[in-house]
Amino acid sequence: MPKTTRREFVVSAAAAAAVMGLDGHLVFIPPANAQKAADSAAKGFHTFKNGSVEVTTVFDGIWEKPHDPGFIKNASLDETKVALKAAGLTDAHVTIPFTVTIVKSGGKTIMFDSGTGGQLSPLAGKLGDNMKAAGIDPKSINTVVVTHFHPDHIFGLMAKDTNAQIYPDAEIIVPKAELAWWTDPSVFQKLPEARHGLAKRIQATLATWKNVRVVDGEADVAPGVRSLPAFGHTPGHTTYVVNGDKPFMVLADISNIPALFVKNPGWHAQFDGDAAMAEANRRKLFDRAIADKAIIAGYHYGMPGAGTISKDGTGYAFVPVA
């Protein structure tokens, strides 16, 4: 994980407007939280309690995404680099982390998404080793809750060459709208040819496995866990709320990295299938998290992967758990 530096300061409204075109203040991560993030990234996991629920976020690695003018549809490459530098990140590329959330609730061990399976970035695929470091046996996973079917979220469910199940004894929860879209015969007409392989793989695995359970809309999917659809990123992208002393919202890809898309919720990533819908749900769930004083987890938020969110000028600020 690339080392980043964070300083606790607030930029004045005038400076914020000059640097990023924002009104109001820019909030940066306090040093104590930044050190916690560095420590948890180094050891590969972070554990905290939310009432009776134990939460462990597990680091799967990163993707050093080369700059691409099309990555953010409504922001320039220069604006992207300025935002990265303002957050204390390298601007040589976009560093996208992968972080899997595991909770122990109601006597069950529940994992949200499954990581890259070491089948995407050469700097990812660390989930198994880091689960072991956290004292979590993969065989202890009772339920895998899937948020959507992008490769970095589901390839950890299947072996690279054989598609054999990695968690054959776990129940796998998938959103109905997501499964329906990827298994529709017309999907190949909707996708570029480069992504036909992904659709075929989904149809050969999640569409046929006997341990898959489909859930529709808002529903109780596991002890203390309720689904909360938030379409846009994909046709069936679904977030989840875990009961605890505070609501714990597993927001998956409601946004990509905070430096870009939490600070600038109106920025549209190329990965969002319906960017306008994704933005509307992003703002809706961020506002709900603030109103409910919730803890949130973001799949691409970097370690420790969970924290709180607040309004920050025209955007939002994410502060990791300490």
- DSSP 3-state of 283: helix
Is 3 part of a structural domain of the chain? Answer: no
Q: Cβ–Cβ contacts within 10 Å for residue 62, how many?
A: 20
What pairing do the DSSP bridges indicate for beta strands 315-320 and 220-222? unpaired
Share of the chain above pLDDT 90, in %: 86
Dihedrals φ, ψ of 207, to 5°?
-80, -15
Nearest Cα neighbor of 111 from 164, 170, 155, 152 is 170
279, β-bridge pairs: none
Tell me the two tokens of residue 322: 């300490």
CATH code of 76's domain: 3.60.15.10
The 10s digit of each residue's pLDDT in 59-94 is 999 999 999 999 999 999 999 999 999 999 999 999
In a domain, 5, yes or no: no
Give percent of the chain with pLDDT exceeding 70.
88
The pTM assigned to this predicted structure is 0.89
In a domain, 4, yes or no: no
Q: Is there a domain that residue 1 lies in?
A: no
Sheet holding 238-242, edge to edge: 220-222, 225-229, 238-242, 248-250, 295-297, 306-312, 315-320
- The domain containing residue 129 runs over which residues? 10-320
22 pLDDT higher than 80: no
In a domain, 2, yes or no: no
| Confidence category of residue 5, pLDDT binned at 50, 70, 90 | very low
Which residues have CB under 8 Å from 56's CB, separation 6+?
45, 46, 47, 101, 102, 103, 134, 136
Is 299 domain-assigned?
yes
Note the pLDDT of residue 18: 30
For residue 252, which of 146, 163, 180, 162 has the smallest C-alpha distance?
146
Assess if residue 134 is contained within a domain. yes
Report yes or no on 313 lying in a domain: yes
Number of structural domains, the chain? Answer: 1
Residue 316 near residue 286 (C-beta atoms within 8 A): yes
